Amino acid sequence: MTSGERPACAFCREPISGSNEELLARARKRVERKDPKAALNIALEHGYGGHGLPVNQAKCIDLLRECAGLGYPVAHYQLGNFHHNGEMGLEQNEEVGLKYWEKGAEGGHLMSRYNAGCKEYDNGDHVAAMRHLRLSASGGMRKSMDCLIECCFESGLLHHGDLAESLQAMYRARAELRSEDRNTYIEHLKRTGEYEEAFGV
């Protein structure tokens, strides 16, 4: 995409209309109405300096905390990442990061649950790790299943029957997730370089 070109919709490939100012004004109206997804998007635009905004990491974190206060699990996930890695002006604090991931996991966010499982495994709490990894695998996350096999099953922490149950749940969830629109979106992510192996497709 060239610098003057507008981003395109992932599905219809039509350019998204409006200037940076118009897009930001629409998003800010949604934030005023307590739309957590809009608050998350604006927060990240401040954090990375998107849509012509100057980088303002403190504003990014404030908006993410507000968004998390609205119960949006993706905001908890992002705050967990920033605390865990010491990004956006925050000091690195893996325990605070874990707490945010656990809140995101409570809200059903699979990557939060996966990250919490990996962190609990590193902390030596294998019971908590397996609970998180089995639940995220049951949501269709292949990466979690890989961890269950490599870290838990092969070391004798997870029984064969429990592994088989998680594997069946993962395949059921993945079958339910398949759709033509989802496949189109996955192809878009792969073309734009935004696809992550964690998506497992």
Is the domain of 17 the same as that of 97?
A: yes
Instruction: Kindly report the pTM of this predicted structure.
Output: 0.75
Q: How confident is the model at residue 198 (pLDDT cuts 50, 70, 90)?
A: low
Is the domain of 29 the same as that of 100?
A: yes
Domain endpoint, select from 108, 141, 170: 108
Q: Assess whether pLDDT exceeds 70 at residue 3.
A: no
Residue 147 is part of which domain span? Answer: 109-180
Is the domain of 14 the same as that of 102?
A: yes
For 18-27, 51-60, 69-78, 152-161, which range has the lowest pLDDT when averaged over its residues?
Answer: 18-27
| The predicted structure's pLDDT at residue 2 | 42
What the block records as the tokens of 137 is 């695998």
154-191 pLDDT per residue, tens: 888 888 999 899 889 888 888 877 667 767 877 777 77
68-114 pLDDT per residue, tens: 998 999 999 999 999 999 999 999 999 999 999 999 999 999 999 99
d(CA 45, CA 111): 21
Q: Looking at per-residue confidence, does 165 or 194 come out higher?
A: 165
- Cα 89 to its chain centre, rounded Å, is 20
- Asked whether residue 196 is domain-assigned, the answer is no
CATH code, domain with 44: 1.25.40.10
Is the domain of 97 the same as that of 172?
A: no
Write the CB contacts of 175 (distance below 8 Å, at least 6 apart in sequence).
none
Q: Which residue in 127, 113, 122 sits closest to 157, CA to CA?
A: 127
Domain endpoint, select from 69, 88, 108: 108
First to last CA, the chain: 25
Is the domain of 88 the same as that of 116?
A: no
In the chain, count of helices (H) and strands (E)?
10, 0
